[in-house]
Amino acid sequence: MNSLKNLKYLKNNKVYVEEDIIDNKYTKEILHNLKSFKIIKIKHYKDVFNRKNQSHKFQKENLNIIIAKSNEKKIYKGAEICNDFGYNDFYYIVNLMNCTYDCEYCFLKGMYPSSNIVIFVDYDEIMKEVKKKLKKNSYLSLSYEGDLLALEKIHGLNKKWMKFARENPHIQFESRTKSNNFNLIEDEEPAENFILSWTLSPNIIIDKYEKYTPSLEKRIININKALIKGWKVRIFIEPVLRVENGVNIYKDMFYYLKEKIDLSKIDKINLDFFRINKDYFKRLKNIYSDSILFAYPFEINNGILEYKENYKKEIYKEYKKIIID
């Protein structure tokens, strides 16, 4: 794997390692790529990750990494709030907790007490569990709680799961990202049952609310490279945010996507609006007390905060006219 020289948002900080997996072969792979990090042995990742009074804002500027073994449960049923793409058997796994990026709206900050990154290295056990439990036509999200491709230089997880996907063609795998790191996996042969998905936003949204993430242009370049290589690619335009002049901002992006990507080659395109569990929302609002994102009026439906229908209808009208029709 390559060095970390391009991961400017990862400073040379600490890597905490659970004592029981210090000699794990995957732990050694990761530590080889974190040579400049100070290694600190710990009993359990929660001793560090679940500390009280942690600052998400500080940690996002000074990220540490924790290497651990996952708990007994390795596969989770997808939440109703997630898009299941019509699959009754929709699941996700947690290879990674948290993300190198710093998106202001990210539910993970409302979900977790820490922004430090946890990498679980018991990949073999996780894969055995997936092979045992998932039936034909199951759908498995690999990056529900972290952007795998953003940290591919450290763990190589996409490549590991691509190999596993080829050996288990009855399962559909998806790795979703905002990164421009396709070059790290472009030597892999495409797998029919492995989907590469990119989450896209207008540049004005990226610049203001998606700190450390690549520009829209860079993400599109990666999408086109993946298409040329023969990968199955999906696009997610989400979360659509309510911002000043939002309808025109997103409308301009829809036209731009149509100009820069052959959308007929995209497996699926999905548009979805910002929505969040009400408890996660409260915690996010405490972190970003002055953010306009959380000042707009919301509706609460079954414990989920959503925008009111008028704004959503206006955006969707433009999306349907430009992207779908």
Q: Are strands 268-273 and 275-277 parallel, antiparallel or unpaired?
A: unpaired
40 domain residue, yes or no: yes
Answer whether residue 107 is part of any domain.
Answer: yes
Q: Which domain holds residue 194?
A: 14-324
pLDDT at 232 over 90: yes
Count of structural domains, the chain: 1
Q: Is residue 195 part of a domain?
A: yes
pLDDT value, residue 77: 82
- The per-residue DSSP string of 168-188 comes to -TTEEEEEEE----GGGTTTS
242 vs 87, more confident: 242
| Residue 1 located in a structural domain | no
9 inside domain: no
Examine residue 7 and state whether it is found in any structural domain, yes or no: no
Report the CATH number that the domain containing residue 217 is assigned in CATH. 3.80.30.30
Q: Are 205 and 241 in contact (CB under 8 A)?
A: yes
Domain-embedded: residue 245: yes
The 10s digit of each residue's pLDDT in 134-191 is 888 889 999 989 999 999 999 999 999 999 999 999 999 999 999 999 999 999 999 9
Give 88-115 pLDDT, tens digit per residue: 688 999 999 999 999 999 999 999 999 9
Predicted TM-score of the model (pTM): 0.93
80 occurs within a structural domain: yes
Instruction: Write out the E strands in the chain.
Output: 14-18, 38-42, 65-68, 75-77, 90-93, 96-97, 102-103, 117-120, 138-141, 171-177, 194-200, 210-211, 232-240, 268-273, 275-277, 298-301, 304-307
